[in-house]
Amino acid sequence: MKIKLPDEKLKDLSQNLPTDASGMADLHKLLKEIKKFTGGKVEAKDIHKTLGNMGLELTDRELWGLLKTLPVTADGKVEKNTLLDYIKAFPGGRCRTSKIESILENLGYELEDEELEDLCNHLPTDDEKVKLNTLMKNVEPFRGIKIHFDEVGDVLKNIGIELTPKELWKLQKTLPITSDGKVYCSRLLDGLKTFQGGKILENKIENILENLNYDLKRKEIQDLRNHLKTDNNGKISLSSFMGTANLFSGGKINASDTQLYLENVGIELTRKESLDLLNILPLDDNRKVYKNRLMDGVKTYRGGKVNISKLDDVLENMGFSLEEEEIEELYTHLPIDEERRVKMVKLLDEVHELLGEEVTSEDLENTLKNTGLRLRLKENTMLMKSLPLDAAGKLYEHRLLGDIRSLKGVELNVNKLGPFMKNMGFNLEKEEYLDLLSNLPADDEGNIEVNVVMDEGNLFTGEKIDMSNLETFLGNMGITLTEDKGMELQNKLPVDDKGKMYVNRLMKELRSLEGVKVSPNKVNTFLKNMGIDLKEKEIQELKDCLPVDANGKIDLNVLVDEVKNITGEKIPIEDLKNVLKDMGVKITNKEHKKLLKTLPVSADRKVFEKALLEGVKSFKGGRVSVSDLKNVLWNTGFRLEEKEIQDLQSHLPVIEDEKIDLDTLMEAASAFTGEKVEANDLKNVLRNMGIETTEKEQLMLLKTLPISRDGMVYKKRLLNSVKPLKGKKVSVKNLNTLVKNMGIQLEKEDFQDLLNHLPIDENKMVDLNVVMDDAKAFTGEKVNVNNLSNVMRKMGLVLTDEEKQQLLKTLPIHADGKVYNNRLLKGVKALNGPRVKLRKVKSVMENMGIKLKDEELEELMTQLSTDDDRTVGLNDLMDTVSCIKGNGKVRVDSIMEDLKKFKSKGMVPLHKLMKTGHDTKDRVIGPMAVSDIKSKFKLNPLTKVPSSHGKRDKDLPGSLPCQNKEKKLNASQMQAFRDAYNFFNKDKTGCIDLHGMTCTLAKLGMNLTKHDVYNELRCADIDRDGKVNFSDFIKVLTDKNRFLKAVVPEKEKCLDSAGNPGILLFEILSKLVETSALPRKAIMEIVSYFRRKFQDTTSGRSWSPYTMGYGKRRFKPDICTPPSSSTAAFANAARITIMKEKDLLTFLEELKSEESY
């Protein structure tokens, strides 16, 4: 067949090829396997597209990272199979879940439907995408040896694991059995790690560990044995064994470093306590211990203190995955000393009180048996999956019982009602129990749904009142009952031995009585006893619409019905996601949990419909399809006309898949609320706010504003259109009026704070857009800063005591100790040294209005440099986020327009240059068009040129006889150049040869002839060994003459390798910086190095800002305008990239001043 395979691939083919009993292979299967080794080639420049068609998505930075490692041939191609092999081990990238089957097939995995379904069930796919490395990790068990379905029990028994017939059946139900009745052995063992049930033989522990790929030393195995409880038959619980074995995984730490390591986590031990702890830990021969085992030892030892500012980190490292609300509850019960420390023993006691005992598989069986749910839950594997396991796979008693309360679709037999209610924490007396039983709708077999039981059971929670005070209690709600009605009510109510009854149960019974009336002035009290919290305005509106009888009273049932119209129905929290989906709002599982934290959930785990819709309006998460826009607006209470909807939609940033971020939509829609004004009176309306407009501006507003059919326009929408008008200012005396018209009600402290921070000119005027932006700091929710340390902890911010004091001095704190959250964050950003906990980076960014996609967050984490406390500087964080998201893009439309008008002496008009830039392809700065400029660093503009320009050598020889003495590179600079050098393809000796340079140029899309490449290598080969090693690389790039030749080429020369040799390495370096192909730190060091180098050679001449990229490097001999250089482009591009708009404007002014001279 003329196919030649290397021995290694031939061996791999032979091992994976299925054969029959006679050792023969099917021809079609053979050809299919061979195809995997001969998949053709892919153009390096098309790799992104090729992977995208497969369903794999890489960011630009990830793509460059992949290209750096791929062996690219001289013709700029990569073997497809080689590409796919590299992809399997690639740390980045995301896979579309809809294409997982295709992706796996391309990567050489052939999974059957059952295996594919099992794989997908184990993948975290909230965002319809999954990390590539997560996919590869989860697919790994689907390799290797397969065993027959019937052999599972025997295989496990041989290893040392015993299952009862029921347990074996339960395990087999969870395994992906293929059409041939087999399952991968690796998948079987992987499933055992989370299996609830089974026993292991004590004398087979080492064999089991080996099969599960644990590599433990003798002392560690003995320590593991000491943790395990063996029954009378020499057997150990499988789940207990798996949990303990997990302590001996992950990284190890030196015994001498444990005290410092724990201190960085937040656990402080004295020297004696540290030694005592080490005495109970299993240290290996190198005196190292697993970090997981260390933290387990800390829990056992129970000594030392915990730094309360690091409480979240301590809990996480000890394996307690608590929700924020649980941490808050825990925090309120901790005895914190003056140094903000708490004893470890106290912390562990409070955690136990909060979570209850850890539930083992045996405990789970007993709990479910006691609640009467064991058989019903065991038959439903999906319900078993819904049990509240934390991130470490642990289950705690209180969480289990809490989750059982909301189970849907599970029935309970009335014979088990008593034990069930007791286990759920209800302490019902006989009369109450009988009353509950009589009100439950059991079927013919005596079964009731658990969630119905809990709904009725919640009537027996909360406050109780004495039956003798019933008349007074009713009177406080404005309810007077006749003697007959009073007796009827009392006869229906269950009273305990002390003559008391539950208020919730009373309120339900009141609603069942006919003809009960309520006094209008007592409506508020009635609603409070019903557990309904309405705003004063809503209560007044309710009273106004309720009909009253001749005695001025309201019918109770009419009142309840009208309240329902305001609050809406009650929605079970487990149904919220589907309710929002029907509205047109899609949220992930993570966002669902996040949303619940913001909603007022009642004791029966339900939320009023109105509360849900109000919560949605301020929720930072969720997406809306463009096609569902009208539906979502209507459901959230926005009644917009068609023209207003069109205007709204035209201003919305539509992201991928025709979707819009929910919070972006809600913020934009808020402009269509509040007061409306006459469109034909805009001038006076704005003048009353202190804003003057010209006739031209008024005409423009009338053309662009969404004016409704009645000729009106929303005032907020009007202000949004006025804000971008150039030069608009407002007088300080009109600020309060303006802010009120924006819909913001400022308290005295807030207004004074706003005034103190505004840049007011000598005429007592301030820019309109500045006012409108700064006023937004006084919107949203408020936080209580009386305990600022706790507020900062919740946010994930770390401040020193001095910074906290400084912050408190600057905040406009209200009488109740609260301040707007937005204003608080603004104050934090103004500090010099605040730090952010790494685990809270995403939430901190969201609080600051910056949304990070998962892939952006991953990239961010790789770019951040953290300290031992796992924190990062807020300023560094913001800079890096700007770099990744491109939020630092400079809006330079107007600046460019001004620059185009320049006709400075000896300079090419910029408008011609701009045209040249647009018309020329493949230039170095092509990808760095204005729309793509990213804010990476901040450098001052460079406006000088070296005096030596035009006086240096015409040609540079291969050796450097005229090389200037350079300052030695520091370690950071050396590493930066090493990162650049590592990008190049090299030979076996690690040097850049002709082939390596050609492949590198192909990767970068740079086209040179082989002759040009050879000449460039000859110029760069300082030691004349025919190759470019790292020493040559450094000498060329740090040589001043070569640098100057690359930066500002001679006027009479064209940029061509033949006419201007020796600068190729500078051009490649420019390309690497420009495309962010190097680590951020390396780019920063390189840009800073060359900037300083350029400044060291200045003597007053201006450096033309119009030098462009090298294009395709072949200019006609008679066309030498403009003289161009990639390194000049690099320096200019880096300079503009780094500038903020203010700096760019300063640069523009400098150019203007030069023109005047």
Strand partners, 624: 585, 660
Number of domains making up the chain = 10
In terms of domains, do 864 and 898 share one? no
Q: In the block, which residue shows the tokens 């490692």?
A: 69
* Separation of CA 412 from chain center: 40
- Examine the domain organization and report whether 435 and 480 are in the same domain: no
Give phi and psi for 46, each to the nearest 5. -105, 5
Residue at a domain's end among 543, 566, 589: 566
What are the Cα distances from residue 167, in Å, to 154, 161, 172, 243, 453?
14, 12, 9, 19, 30
Last residue of a domain, one of 424, 447, 470: 447
| Amino acid at the residue 146 | K
Burial class (CB in 10 A: 0-12, 13-18, 19+), 550: exposed
Last residue of a domain, one of 612, 647, 671: 671
Are 742 and 787 found together in one domain? no
β-pairing verdict for 1098-1101 and 94-96: unpaired
Quick one: 335 and 293 in the same domain? yes
Distance of CA 71 to the CA centre of its chain: 33
Angle at 381 (CA atoms; ends 375, 382), nearest 5 degrees: 125
d(CA 1109, CA 1105): 12
Task: Tell me which residue of 216, 16, 240 sits closest to 109, measured CA to CA.
Answer: 16
CA torsion angle 588 590 594 597 (round to 10)? 110
CB-based contact 220:172 (threshold 8 Å): no
CATH number at residue 972: 1.10.238.10
d(CA 568, CA 557): 15
Instruction: Please indicate, yes or no, whether residues 975 and 953 belong to a single structural domain of this protein.
Output: yes
Reduced to 3 states (helix: H, G, I; strand: E, B; else coil), residue 651 is coil
pLDDT for the residue numbered 297? 93
For 327-409, strand residue ranges (E) read 341-343
CB 672 within 8 A of CB 660: no
**CA atoms 274, 279, 281, 285: torsion sign:** positive
Q: Is residue 455 part of a domain?
A: no
- Domain contains 561: yes
| Interatomic CA distance for residues 284 and 281, integer angstroms | 10
In a domain, 753, yes or no: yes
Q: Could you tell me the end-to-end alpha-carbon distance of the chain, in angstroms, rounded to an integer?
A: 78
| Same domain assignment for residues 417 and 279 | no
- Answer whether residue 452 is part of any domain: no
Range of the domain at 15: 1-36
1128 in the same domain as 1023: yes
Tell me, yes or no, whether 377 and 473 share the same domain.
Answer: no
Q: Which helix (H) or strand (E) holds 417?
A: helix 417-423
Q: What is the pTM of this model?
A: 0.63
Asked if residue 723 belongs to a domain, the reply is: yes
Q: Are residues 200 and 228 in the same domain?
A: yes
As a whole number of angstroms, the distance between CA 188 and CA 532 comes to 52
**How many other CB atoms are there within 10 angstroms of residue 948's CB atom?**
14
Burial string for 891-917 (b: 16+ CB within 10 Å, else e) reads ebeebeeebeebebeebbebeebeebb
* Same domain as 679, residue 666: no
Q: Are residues 852 and 986 in the same domain?
A: no
Helix (H) or strand (E) holding 437: helix 430-438
Q: 323 with 312, same domain?
A: yes
Asked, for residue 453, whether it belongs to a domain, the answer is no
| Token couple for 588 | 């992930």
In 445-535, where does DSSP find H-type helix? 450-457, 470-476, 483-492, 503-512, 523-529
Question: For residue 401, which amino acid is it?
Answer: L
Q: Which residues of the chain have pLDDT under 70?
A: 1-5, 8-9, 12, 16, 28, 31-39, 125-127, 359-395, 397, 399-409, 655-657, 866-868, 886-967, 1047-1061, 1095-1157
